[in-house]
Chain A
Amino acid sequence: MKKTNHSGNKISPRPSFKSSKAKVSLRKYPSNSSASKILTPISPAVKIHLRPQVQNLEYVFNPRSVAIVGASANPKKVGHSILRNFLHACFEGKIYPINTHEEEVLGIKAYKKVSEASDSVDCVIIATPANTVYDILRDALKSKIKAAVVISGGFSEVGNKKEELKIKELADKHQIALIGPNCMGILNPQTRNDSIFLPIFKLGRPRVGQTAFISQSGAVGGCIVDLAAKSSIGISKFVSYGNAACINETDLIEYFIQDAQTDSLISYIEGVNDGRRFMRAVSTISRHKPFVVLKAGKSALGSQAALSHTGALAGSYKIFTSAVKQAGAIEVKNLNELFYIAKILQIKKFFSSRIAVLTNGGGNGVLAADAIEHYGLKLANFSPVTLKGLSSFLPNYAQPKNPLDIIGDADASRYEKSLELLIADDSIDAIVVIILFQTSTLDSRIVNVLMQAKTKSTKPIIAVSTGGDYTQLHSKMLDDYGIPTYPSPDDAMSSLSKILRYNIYCHTHQ
């Protein structure tokens, strides 16, 4: 078999094609016009060069000054929430509310135009009707804007392509990093830059972390931000990129490859602009940071009119799935899975599949063992040292074997002693701790035990806790302390296997 061309080399033709006979027959099949396009193999770019417009995303995320066009005292207006969020988040840069009618909005001096506010504004956030956007951008150019977030809808999503093209051309010409239009805004908790137009008391804001989220849909984006806040997932940046007139998903991926604050990227994507460029960006980012994708629009529209078997089998969603898998992305099927993966993304150095299960309930241990088999993981065989250690303190009605059922009367200290042995055992790659809080012997002390185990352990420790309010309260505590906690063994094993597969991919594609 020929050597792989994965390193980005052009594929050389097989020797047999070099024969003169092949050349003769090549003439017999003159290539049609579309065939003249030369395809390069999909392989990661060695170095991604961001075009200046994409470099200017820096001003979207870290502006020194923002103008909020449409800022209003009326709480029903989108511009009101945005200004309030900036104030609430204590944005450190300058804020210029722009309102044609008011002198002052929420106690801050307002201006009629961006150009009147200052001769230097980094980012303009626009939340006024579609037909006003072009003129606002034109005027803002006088203030040397580098970036724009256009919240306003009413563009190509309702068929108004002309207006969208106008603002796209303007932004492209002046290298403005324009997000949207028809988007929900962006969030950078680090610089407290929050242009999400949903009020803070309704939509939680996540803490600072290392995961970036991008979403084509504003609605799904909103759910993602809210859920990230609830599941204590720290984010580095969030972008709702809407119609992607100027900055599209691939630009954002390329930006996040280089963003030092981001070590994983999660995306909600409905469609991509240029499939091959997208794949190249995905395969580049996957070599450095995990890239998770939730693809919407799975219905088989594209394959309805197919004449051939291949045409019928290769619908557009299936091709998308194959393409992102080929590029090393982690694909998830729904928002639940997306967050299960988001929780576990911080786990690194996990290359093998031997799992130890520690539980205080036998049935849940069996469920975990089933899930381990289903997702292609392995139940670890405990070392003799571990077995001996376990028999020294386990009651005689507990058996020292994997899954390790330390029985319903287990307290925090029995968990602690068991964990100590499992952490020291080299034949174990990851530990899944099942905690059923319903027993009388378990209480909040177990959270401490797990936290300490986590700091001591070099292998991933994740928790599974199934139950009602008391359980969920503790699950939240565990999540807050950075121990990924799952409602069922199945969810935990599915996430572990995805991360393992990614780690292996990453390791073998360096």
Chain B
Amino acid sequence: MALTMDFPLLEKYRIPVVPYRLASNQNQAAKFASELKYPIALKLISNLAIHKTEQHALALNLKDEKSLRSEFTRLKKIDSKAKILVQKFMPHSLELIIGGKADPQFGPVILLGMGGVYTEILEDVQMRVCPPSDKELRSMISQLKSFPILKGARGQKGVNLMELSLILRKLSTLMENEQPKELDINPIFATSNGLMAADMRVIK
């Protein structure tokens, strides 16, 4: 089983992705960073670092070229052959997980939950067998325990729910057409304006 980070797969199904470039050397990274504009996040794409947070294989909220270059050097030490993802850093947004799995019994299934580091602890997730109807997509969102947060709570703006259900619909189409074994988009950043996938992995 091979884990890959495959943003083009998401783009093919029109699932919005946080602007990114793939850099193989420091100068390239610096050039991309100035194109994307700071702040920037760097992520190591390597099978040696599957759990990026635990293995410190990422650098977030880099505000200038100096810190970008030093973090780039640090990441390269983990895996010198790996490419590095230069990504626009998006602060202050809600993190969701959306994903899919090919179940041996029921076929492709999609999943939606609260993302970030506590995903597996809180287990606040909803699943539907593909393809779900629009009604089921809506219930999938509204039956989350965290739904009040998605709607907007305590003065915070909510998430664009229409956009979220559209993305889930696109994910369902992806799962049906490509039939990957497992697919994670974690996190997908969600704001009142829209949603953008910040990280993904797929097992084909």
- Given A35-B177, A314-B101, the answer on whether A42 and B129 have CB atoms closer than 8 Å is yes
Determine if B9 is an interface residue (Cβ-Cβ < 8 Å).
Answer: yes
A319 touches B109 (CB 8 A): yes
Q: Given the complex of chains A and B, what is the CA–CA distance between A35 and B8 in angstroms?
A: 18
Instruction: Encode contact with B along A300-313: 1 for CB under 8 Å, 0 otherwise.
Output: 00000011111111
Query: In whole Å, how far is A274's beta carbon from the nearest beta carbon of chain B?
Result: 8
Number of A-B contacts (CB under 8 A): 146
Determine if B69 is an interface residue (Cβ-Cβ < 8 Å).
Answer: no
Q: Given the complex of chains A and B, what is the CA–CA distance between A482 and B105 in angstroms?
A: 39
Determine if A45 is an interface residue (Cβ-Cβ < 8 Å).
Answer: no
- Given A25-B12, A316-B103, the answer on whether A35 and B135 have CB atoms closer than 8 Å is no
Our pick among A13, A32, A307, A326 for the contact of B129 (Cβ within 8 Å) is A326
- List A218-247 residues whose CB lies under 8 Å from chain B: none
Determine if B192 is an interface residue (Cβ-Cβ < 8 Å).
Answer: no
User: Number of A interface residues, CB 8 Å?
Assistant: 47
- List A255-312 residues whose CB lies under 8 Å from chain B: 271-272, 274-276, 279, 306-312
Our pick among A1, A6, A29, A274 for the contact of B12 (Cβ within 8 Å) is A29
* Residues of A contacting B105 in the complex (Cβ-Cβ under 8 angstroms): 271-272, 274-275, 316, 319-320
B106 touches A4 (CB 8 A): no
Determine if A20 is an interface residue (Cβ-Cβ < 8 Å).
Answer: no
A322 touches B128 (CB 8 A): yes
B204 touches A1 (CB 8 A): no
Q: Given the complex of chains A and B, what is the CA–CA distance between A163 and B123 in angstroms?
A: 43
Determine if B61 is an interface residue (Cβ-Cβ < 8 Å).
Answer: no
Determine if B153 is an interface residue (Cβ-Cβ < 8 Å).
Answer: no
- Given A34-B179, A307-B3, A309-B99, the answer on whether A314 and B107 have CB atoms closer than 8 Å is no
* Residues of B contacting A26 in the complex (Cβ-Cβ under 8 angstroms): 12
Our pick among A5, A14, A22, A28 for the contact of B133 (Cβ within 8 Å) is A5
Instruction: Encode contact with B along A310-349: 1 for CB under 8 Å, 0 otherwise.
Output: 1111101011101100100000000000000000000000
- Given A39-B176, A319-B106, A322-B129, the answer on whether A309 and B186 have CB atoms closer than 8 Å is yes
Q: Given the complex of chains A and B, what is the CA–CA distance between A371 and B62 in angstroms?
A: 52
- Given A275-B105, A279-B106, A310-B183, the answer on whether A35 and B178 have CB atoms closer than 8 Å is yes
A residues neighboring B (CB under 8 Å): 1-6, 11, 13-14, 16-17, 22, 25-26, 28-29, 31-32, 34-35, 37, 39, 41-43, 271-272, 274-276, 279, 306-314, 316, 318-320, 322-323, 326
Task: Given A25-B8, A310-B183, A319-B109, output 8 extra A-B contacts at Cβ < 8 Å.
Answer: A35-B178, A37-B179, A39-B108, A275-B107, A308-B99, A310-B97, A310-B100, A311-B181
A–B Cβ pairs within 8 angstroms, 29 of them = A1-B166, A2-B134, A6-B134, A11-B131, A13-B173, A14-B14, A14-B169, A16-B14, A25-B11, A29-B12, A29-B178, A31-B177, A32-B179, A41-B131, A43-B133, A275-B103, A275-B104, A275-B129, A279-B129, A309-B120, A310-B99, A310-B111, A310-B183, A311-B181, A314-B109, A318-B125, A322-B127, A326-B129, A326-B132
